[in-house]
Chains A and B, each alone.
Chain A
Amino acid sequence: MANIMIRKGSEGYVFYMPKRDIEDPIVFLEFDSPEKWGGEIRLKNGGVYYIEPQPAPTRLPFSVRARRIDGVE
């Protein structure tokens, strides 16, 4: 589990992990509705992470804990 920050970029969501300085566009977000938001996220660099589905944040950027499933460190 690691802290990540999700922010809005010019083309959709951007993933950022402060600990490792990884910044990458999110190409896939499993749930993206106001009531249910999160789930599996896929990055452009091939990384796959999981955040517990939850109500969508009212404001971005938003810090949340995520689990790494696959891909780059």
Chain B
Amino acid sequence: MAALTREETQALIQEVLEVYPEKARKDRAKHIMINDKTLESSKKCITSNRKSLPGVMTMRGCAYAGSKGVVWGPIKDVISISHGPIGCGQYSRAGRRNYYVGTTGVDTFSEMNFTSDFQEKDIVFGGDKKLAKLIEEIEMLFPLNKGITVQSECPIGLIGDDIEAVAKKMSAQIGKPVVPVRCEGFRGVSQSLGHHIANDSIRDWIISNRDGQAFEKTPYDVAILGDYNIGGDAWASRILLEEMGLRVVAQWSGDGTLAELENTPNVKLNLLHCYRSMNYIARHMEEKYGIPWIEYNFFGPTKIAESLRKIASFFDDRIKEGAERVIEKYTPVMNAVIAKYKPRLQGKKVMLYVGGLRPRHVVGAYEDLGMEVIGTGYEFAHNDDYDRTIKEMGDATLIYDDATGYELEEFVKALKPDLIGSGIKEKYVFHKMGVPFRQMHSWDYSGPYHGYDGFAIFARDMDMALNNPCWKMLTPPWLRQTDASELKKAA
């Protein structure tokens, strides 16, 4: 049951959009919809993946963020150079908490910032020479790197540097892959195009590197795609797959290595967690190597069980039994978690606003705890994401695309959710409004949230945020209504 009826929600949207100038109002109205479960396609109800309006506060990032920050960055034994001025790389350094095993600075490099630190003279005379020198230096100082990527920042595209030529030359010189990535921040409307560009660069420069080489296959090889190991997510997923008898050949890209990427064409099935950022490469492998791919969801026991069975259906009985065994093993543990937290969370309302996957994927986990998601939205989803969202959300709930800071605040004021899940940019605004909040990008420095182990942490964190005593202390003592008995006691 949604909190509002369809008409009330419609009125709310109208009211919120009222303050915009007419043109902006018309445009924003297309990005907000009221869910209707009977819909097959979101096409007619919501517009997505369009340029944000100038003047409103959007939460989006840039193509460079999508490529360097999301797809390439977490690959631990590859050095990704932020090619251009220093800020883009420095201010996004190690911000996504992609955990990995290794000694940073020796054999793994994800947390470091490598940059060409462009100065005026590089813009005027071009930075190709500097890039070549930089790659030489990297090779000398960090010889254990397995490859280098050149992540272009805005100026590179503007001044017309030929990073492809430098990459080819340097790759031959150092004998390792050097991948030029044309992910200048101005391309596209959000980080989403950066994911696509990064996928394409993996396709063009990496994926077929080991074609024809011997590889010891088993019939149970799979690859995890689109799991960035935030707070250890991929590890919590991997153990379940291994427990049911599968062999995980590669992790894309959290805690992943270049060798894993190159070995992926040998797997039997690609498991796709974040559809938005890695469907491109999954589709490419399907066409080129005939590897099928499926989407799965490891948030909350209901969806995990569903996903494990779905994955198992691609394999023989051994794996199918394995899946059942895993589900059976964890069910009592999960029941205990639910028994503990559900009474404290039952009936609470949640609003979400996250990136490209979680606005729909975590709905099941909240429902497992008896909570209800009354509004959700994506920063940079496309319509195929909204098609998938319609099924997950309740009728007459609110769905917003590329919501602005103002809209989110107004929706929260009207819908009065008990908990908000979004990012760091929204966190303190809502804290100051007195609404409990969890960061759903970085798990608020907690995690993992994937898998059975993750769900226990998820439930605890949600309880911790929602039932924190601090929310009762927001009214200062002089504004508090004191009742007579307390006064008497004091007297």
- Which of A's residues lie within 8 Å of B, judged by CB? 5, 7, 16, 18, 21-24, 44-45, 59, 61-63, 72
Number of A-B pairs whose CB atoms are under 8 Å? Answer: 28
Contact of B41 among A5, A45, A61 (CB under 8 A): A45
- A62 to B283, alpha carbons, bound, how many Å? 10
- A24 to B290, alpha carbons, bound, how many Å? 20
- Which of B's residues lie within 8 Å of A, judged by CB? 40-41, 43, 49, 196, 280, 283, 286-287, 290, 382-384
Interface pair B384/A44, CB less than 8 Å apart: no
Question: Would A16 and B283 be within 8 Å (CB), given that A21-B49, A21-B382 are in contact?
Answer: yes
Question: Would A72 and B287 be within 8 Å (CB), given that A18-B280, A23-B384 are in contact?
Answer: no
Q: Tell me the minimal C-beta distance from B113 to chain A in angstroms.
A: 31
Interface pair B283/A21, CB less than 8 Å apart: no
Question: Inside 8 A of B383's CB, which chain A residues have their CB?
Answer: 21-22
Chain A residue nearest in CB terms to B48: A21
- A27 to B383, alpha carbons, bound, how many Å? 19
3 closest A-B pairs by beta carbon, nearest first, are A61-B287, A21-B382, A23-B384
- List 21 contacting pairs A-B, 8 Å CB cutoff, sorted by A: A5-B283, A5-B287, A7-B286, A7-B287, A16-B283, A18-B196, A18-B280, A18-B283, A21-B49, A21-B382, A21-B384, A22-B383, A24-B41, A44-B40, A45-B41, A45-B43, A61-B283, A61-B287, A62-B287, A63-B287, A72-B43
Question: Inside 8 A of A63's CB, which chain B residues have their CB?
Answer: 287
- A47 to B215, alpha carbons, bound, how many Å? 43
Question: Inside 8 A of A5's CB, which chain B residues have their CB?
Answer: 283, 287
Question: Inside 8 A of A16's CB, which chain B residues have their CB?
Answer: 283
Interface pair B283/A59, CB less than 8 Å apart: no
- A59 to B288, alpha carbons, bound, how many Å? 10
Interface pair B290/A59, CB less than 8 Å apart: yes
Chain B residue nearest in CB terms to A62: B287
Given A5-B287, A18-B283, list of 10 further CB < 8 A pairs? A16-B283, A18-B196, A21-B382, A22-B384, A44-B41, A45-B41, A45-B43, A59-B290, A61-B283, A63-B287
Chain A residue nearest in CB terms to B381: A21
Question: Inside 8 A of A24's CB, which chain B residues have their CB?
Answer: 41
- A61 to B40, alpha carbons, bound, how many Å? 23
- A5 to B284, alpha carbons, bound, how many Å? 10
Question: Inside 8 A of B283's CB, which chain A residues have their CB?
Answer: 5, 7, 16, 18, 61
Q: Tell me the minimal C-beta distance from A51 to chain B in angstroms.
A: 16
Question: Inside 8 A of A22's CB, which chain B residues have their CB?
Answer: 383-384
Interface pair B43/A61, CB less than 8 Å apart: no
Question: Inside 8 A of B41's CB, which chain A residues have their CB?
Answer: 24, 44-45
Question: Inside 8 A of A23's CB, which chain B residues have their CB?
Answer: 384
Q: Tell me the minimal C-beta distance from B226 to chain A in angstroms.
A: 15
- A24 to B40, alpha carbons, bound, how many Å? 11
- A10 to B7, alpha carbons, bound, how many Å? 36
- A73 to B295, alpha carbons, bound, how many Å? 26
Of the candidates A18, A21, A59, the one having the most CB atoms from chain B within 10 angstroms of its own CB is A21
Q: Tell me the minimal C-beta distance from A40 to chain B in angstroms.
A: 21
- A4 to B49, alpha carbons, bound, how many Å? 19
Question: Inside 8 A of B40's CB, which chain A residues have their CB?
Answer: 44
- A5 to B169, alpha carbons, bound, how many Å? 33
- A16 to B293, alpha carbons, bound, how many Å? 15
Q: Tell me the minimal C-beta distance from A8 to chain B in angstroms.
A: 10
Chain A residue nearest in CB terms to B384: A23
- A24 to B286, alpha carbons, bound, how many Å? 17
Of the candidates B43, B286, B290, B382, the one having the most CB atoms from chain A within 10 angstroms of its own CB is B43
- A21 to B384, alpha carbons, bound, how many Å? 7
Chain A residue nearest in CB terms to B385: A21
Q: Tell me the minimal C-beta distance from A16 to chain B in angstroms.
A: 7
